[in-house]
């Protein structure tokens, strides 16, 4: 067993709030699932993770380095968690250099919290170190003091098994950050939001999950005028579950670019709205095999975040022979219909105009950048009486009766024009598309 104890003592010698330990405990979960909170320390059992992280020495170096960044001021290693905590309190960093009882015997008895209620009595008995207490008869200790002291001693010396309540990640993610200075523009909030996103992605990694939606709230600082209100919020959604800090940051940046702050902001909060399990792609053995760049879905998502979802479109074919209804466009992330429409075999244009363009006539010949030569036709498209739009009672149908022709223009290429009947006897020619 390889236990590490990381102490985070608070400045005023009171036990730290549990919340203060939650951050380091979440961080420690990336090394081992066996993480527990023990008094003012986070203890981690790492024996099973040694090989994964490249050996004891490298794992130790990495943890020492990162723990310092988290604000841990004493760290110790021992075969059990209580001994590790005691060593950390005494300032000894390793419990493996000598047999554990020899090291512990020399420590001051105050490092064991179970001695605290009996400290005066023990001092009067002449005990100074843990070794002195151990020399007292066991029966006497259990009668004179309480069972807790004996149990704690046995656990620290490895004579009795320990039981831990393992640290479990919170089910929901919600964290806040007080900004070091007031932020006046929305894009500048990204600096603080990024730190929250890093925590979010760490939390997601430990849960093997990705997020599809998260919400950033900001609170205006106390000096804001009353009319500005409390603050604001922005929700960001992703097409696929995601826990890549960079991508989430860029999405947030695109969204924040459109926000105008009503007042300076002093406080940020980040909340994960939707969390779904995420299966990560395996790393490849061969370096060339890995795809460079990002997937199309991510790129389109970023573009849609700036231009709006109605600007990034995929076509959906519909079984209809009227040109306007034979296809429609839907935002790219939406799923495509499973059933595929059989494509038509008749010639169809490759570009269409949003609205048919009425052509001017010379005699009975339509003009578009010069006279048109009608090549083949007519291709009669008639129908749509079933297609009603508008409120019931006042609806109108989208019926069409059109004769389509393939026309050739000297300058405009091959065109798709139609002739239709207007009110009365009049006919009209329209340009509807082109065979580009």
- Give the nearest distance from C-beta 27 to other proteins in angstroms: 32
From the number of C-beta atoms within 10 Å of its C-beta (0-12, 13-18, 19+), residue 41 rates as buried
- Give the nearest distance from C-beta 421 to other proteins in angstroms: 5
Strand order in the sheet with 209-220: 174-183, 265-277, 209-220, 231-242
Comparing CB distances to other proteins, the nearer of 152 and 317 is 317
- Give the nearest distance from C-beta 371 to other proteins in angstroms: 5
Comparing CB distances to other proteins, the nearer of 195 and 302 is 302
Angle, CA 204 vertex, CA 203 and CA 208 arms, to 5°: 125
Question: What is the Cα–Cα distance from 125 to 133, expressed in whole angstroms?
Answer: 9
- Token couple for 207: 């849960």
- Give the nearest distance from C-beta 59 to other proteins in angstroms: 36
- Give the nearest distance from C-beta 84 to other proteins in angstroms: 48
At which residue do the structure tokens 């006042």 appear? 394
- DSSP letters of 69-96? HHT--EEEEESSHHHHHHHHHHT--BS-
Comparing CB distances to other proteins, the nearer of 231 and 356 is 356
Q: Are 179 and 266 in contact (CB under 8 A)?
A: yes
- Give the nearest distance from C-beta 408 to other proteins in angstroms: 5
DSSP state of 311: G
What interhelical angle do 147-156 and 81-90 show, nearest 10? 90
Question: What is the Cα–Cα distance from 45 to 26, expressed in whole angstroms?
Answer: 14
From the number of C-beta atoms within 10 Å of its C-beta (0-12, 13-18, 19+), residue 422 rates as exposed
Nearest to 30 by CA among 174, 173, 193, 169: 169
Comparing CB distances to other proteins, the nearer of 96 and 351 is 351
- Give the nearest distance from C-beta 253 to other proteins in angstroms: 13
**Chain residues that interact with other proteins, rule: CB under 8 A:** 292-296, 298-300, 302-303, 306-307, 310-317, 323, 326-327, 329, 332, 336, 343-354, 364-365, 370-376, 378, 380, 401, 403, 406-408, 410-414, 419, 421, 425, 427, 433-436
Whether residue 378 has a cis bond before it, omega within 30° of 0: yes
Q: DSSP 3-state assignment of 233? A: strand
Comparing CB distances to other proteins, the nearer of 282 and 345 is 345
Comparing CB distances to other proteins, the nearer of 234 and 352 is 352
Q: DSSP 3-state assignment of 305? A: helix
Whether residue 28 has a cis bond before it, omega within 30° of 0: no
- Give the nearest distance from C-beta 383 to other proteins in angstroms: 14
Comparing CB distances to other proteins, the nearer of 100 and 248 is 248
Comparing CB distances to other proteins, the nearer of 203 and 429 is 429
- Give the nearest distance from C-beta 322 to other proteins in angstroms: 11
Comparing CB distances to other proteins, the nearer of 167 and 429 is 429
């Amino acid at each position: 067993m390889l236990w590490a104890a990381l102490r985070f003592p608070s400045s005023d010698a009171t036990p730290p709030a549990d919340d203060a330990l939650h951050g380091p405990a979440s961080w420690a979960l990336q090394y081992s699932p066996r993480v527990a909170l023990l008094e003012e320390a986070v203890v981690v059992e790492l024996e099973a993770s040694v090989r994964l992280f490249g050996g004891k020495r490298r794992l130790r170096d990495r943890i020492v380095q990162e723990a310092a960044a988290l604000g841990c001021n004493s760290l110790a290693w021992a075969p059990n968690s209580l001994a590790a905590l005691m060593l950390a309190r005494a300032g000894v960093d390793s419990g493996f250099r000598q047999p554990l009882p020899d090291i512990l015997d020399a420590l001051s008895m105050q490092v064991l919290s179970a001695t605290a209620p009996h400290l005066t009595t023990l001092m009067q008995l002449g005990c100074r170190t843990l070794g002195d207490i151990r020399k007292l008869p066991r029966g006497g200790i259990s009668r004179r003091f309480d069972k807790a002291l004996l149990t704690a001693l046995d656990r620290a010396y490895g004579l009795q098994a320990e039981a831990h309540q393992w640290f479990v990640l919170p089910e929901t993610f919600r964290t806040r950050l007080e900004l070091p200075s007031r932020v006046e523009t929305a894009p500048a909030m990204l600096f603080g939001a990024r730190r929250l996103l890093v925590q979010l992605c760490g939390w997601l990694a430990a849960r093997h999950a990705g997020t599809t939606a998260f919400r950033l709230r900001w609170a205006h600082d106390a000096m804001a005028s009353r009319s500005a209100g409390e603050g604001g919020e922005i929700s960001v959604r992703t097409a696929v579950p995601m826990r890549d800090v960079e991508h989430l940051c860029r999405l947030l940046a695109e969204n924040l670019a459109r926000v105008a702050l009503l007042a300076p902001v002093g406080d940020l909060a980040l909340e994960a709205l939707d969390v779904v399990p995420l299966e990560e792609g395996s790393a490849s053995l061969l370096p060339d095999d890995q795809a460079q760049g990002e997937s199309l879905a991510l790129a389109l998502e970023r573009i849609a975040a700036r231009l709006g979802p109605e600007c990034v479109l995929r076509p959906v074919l519909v079984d209809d022979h009227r040109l306007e209804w034979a296809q429609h466009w839907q935002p790219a992330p939406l799923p495509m219909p499973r059933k595929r429409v059989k494509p038509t075999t008749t010639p169809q244009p490759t570009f269409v105009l949003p609205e048919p363009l009425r052509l001017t006539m010379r005699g009975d010949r339509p003009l578009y950048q010069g006279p048109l030569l009608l090549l083949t036709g007519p291709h009669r498209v008639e129908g749509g009486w079933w297609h009603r739009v508008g409120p019931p009672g006042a609806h109108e149908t989208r019926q069409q009766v059109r004769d389509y022709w393939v026309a050739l223009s000297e300058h405009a290429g091959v065109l798709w024009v139609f002739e239709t009947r207007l009110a009365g006897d009049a006919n009209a020619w329209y340009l509807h598309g082109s065979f580009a």
